[in-house]
Amino acid sequence: MTAPKILVLVGGISEGSLNEKLFNAIKVKHANDFSFEDFDIKSLPFFSQDLEADPPATVKALREKIKKADGILFITPEYNRSFPGVLKNAIDWGSRPYGQNSWDKKIAGVIGASVGNIGTFGAQHHLRQVLSYLNMHTMHQPELYLNASKAFDQDGNLSDSMVEEIIAKYMGAFKAWVTQNSFKN
């Protein structure tokens, strides 16, 4: 059985992003379980209906990666109890123009890391609402809200064995979710 192709969109675009560190840890630990491909959402222009009919090459590249993916993993920080605008921008580009929703029937997972005690609960909850509207099949259990304030060492490597176990449990469930629920668009 080939490893599922997973498109990963990381909503944390800051230098030293905890969510980028989380993705890097997942890539290392689960390279045999998944074929990961990420997309730099910073490269996308702001969404505009004026550009829908003839979108920039970066938008076309995103849509092509969505199309080829068996599943999508959203890794998001939390800003003001929601997910970042840059991630919403990528979602909007993938869902437009009207009637051409690239996200339709895609399998999805949502995780995130922050330094707060409730991790990214608010952001994930809000993101799930948007993904539901887009007709994505999002895994709901287990959840992964990571307080990552002490999970990584100074080099950005995961250094907490309990966090490793939590991530392994999530990724095992996500692999089952993707392989059992694949839809062919």
Q: Render pLDDT for 34-71 as a digit per residue (tens, 0 to 9).
A: 999 999 999 999 999 999 989 999 999 999 999 999 99
* 185 inside domain: no
The identity of residue 102, as a single letter, is S
More confident: 153 or 37: 37
On the question of pLDDT at 183 being above 60, the answer is no
* 47 inside domain: yes
Tell me the C-alpha distance between 141 and 126, whole Å: 16
Q: Kindly report the three-state secondary structure assignment for every residue of the chain.
A: CCCCEEEEEECCCCCCCHHHHHHHHHHHHCCCCCEEEECCHHHCCCCCHHHCCCCCHHHHHHHHHHHHCCEEEEECCCECCECCHHHHHHHHHHHCCCCCCCCCCCEEEEEEEECCCCCCHHHHHHHHHHHHHCCCEECCCCCCEEECCCCECCCCCECCHHHHHHHHHHHHHHHHHHHHCCCCC
What is the pTM assigned to this prediction?
A: 0.94
Residue 47: CATH number of its domain: 3.40.50.360
For residue 63, the enclosing domain spans 5-180
Task: Give the pLDDT score at 119.
Answer: 83
Task: Give the pLDDT score at 101.
Answer: 97
Total domains in the fold of the chain:
1
* 90 inside domain: yes
| Neighbour tally for 164: CB within 10 Å | 14
Task: Give the pLDDT score at 27.
Answer: 95
Mean pLDDT calculated for residue range 121-140: 96
